[in-house]
Amino acid sequence: MERHFRDGHTETWWAADACLGGYGPDSPCRLVVVTTDPADLPEKATWYLATNLPHPDAPHAAGSPHPPADLAEIVRLYGLRPWIEQSYKQVKDELGWADFQVRSDRAIRRHQTLVNCAFSFCWDQWFGPPGPLDATAPDPCPDEGPERGPSHTPPTPTALLARGLTGHPFLAHSRRHPEPVVASLDGQGPARRAQGPDRRGHHRTRH
């Protein structure tokens, strides 16, 4: 199939329904392999997708709650995902969103809320005006060096990203009414749990 990109160029991709275990074109859950090179299956240009969109010729297609989709439609739908999740994985890794072991949806959302709050407080402290130094405070480690090699003092910021409180009705200062903000996030309805990347680093999704 020919894939058309926003910058005007096109690429030739190959796609096929695979049969593995309970997966197959006639099964409720299909396994689709998409790649730019069917001979070598390059890791960064090969997708392994699980979808509940039925094959147009599947026996259960007529009674399925989901519309049938051919291979070209599945590739088109999954091709939209990188634009939706641009930089999501990198941000998740940097902030520590994935550093948890919990079982419930609410626990996952609470962890992410706490991580976001901690980042906001650190961001505010970093760009805030420096406070007075307490010269009488004792050195907590007078005879010990850094735990992980030499320390590096970050440069002092030369400009503020935002000066004072914003007047925009949909933005809030990171330390303005934190309790109601956290409570409102924690009280939201259950979110659908997303499947993380597999061992190859590819995201699996269900439409």
The predicted structure's pLDDT at residue 207: 44
The predicted structure's pLDDT at residue 158: 54
The pTM (predicted TM-score) of the whole model is 0.45
3-state secondary structure the chain: CEEECCCCCEEECEEEEECECCECCCCCCEEEEEECCCCCCCHHHEEEEEECCCCCCCCCCCCCCCCCCCHHHHHHHHHCHHHHCCCHHHHHHHHCCCCCCCCCHHHHHHHHHHHHHHHHHHHHHHHCCCCCCCCCCCCCCCCCCCCCCCCCCCCCCCCCCCCCCCCCCCCCCCCCCHHHHHHHHHCCCCCCCCCCECCCCCECCCC
Longest dimension (CA), the chain: 79
pLDDT digits (tens, 9 = 90+) for 116-129: 888 888 888 887 77
Extents of the domains making up the chain:
2-84, 86-127+170-192
Least confident of 78-82, 105-109, 134-138, 168-172: 168-172
CA distance 171 to 122: 18
CA 108 to centroid of chain Cα atoms: 13
User: Amino acid identity, residue 47?
Assistant: W
- Once rounded to an integer, what is the mean pLDDT over residues 147-152? 55
The predicted structure's pLDDT at residue 67: 93
Strand partners, 47: 34
- Once rounded to an integer, what is the mean pLDDT over residues 30-44? 94
Q: How far is CA 141 from CA 1, 36, 150, in A?
A: 64, 56, 14
131 compared with 187, residue with greater pLDDT: 131
Is residue 26 within 8 Å of 58, Cβ to Cβ? yes
- Once rounded to an integer, what is the mean pLDDT over residues 149-178? 52
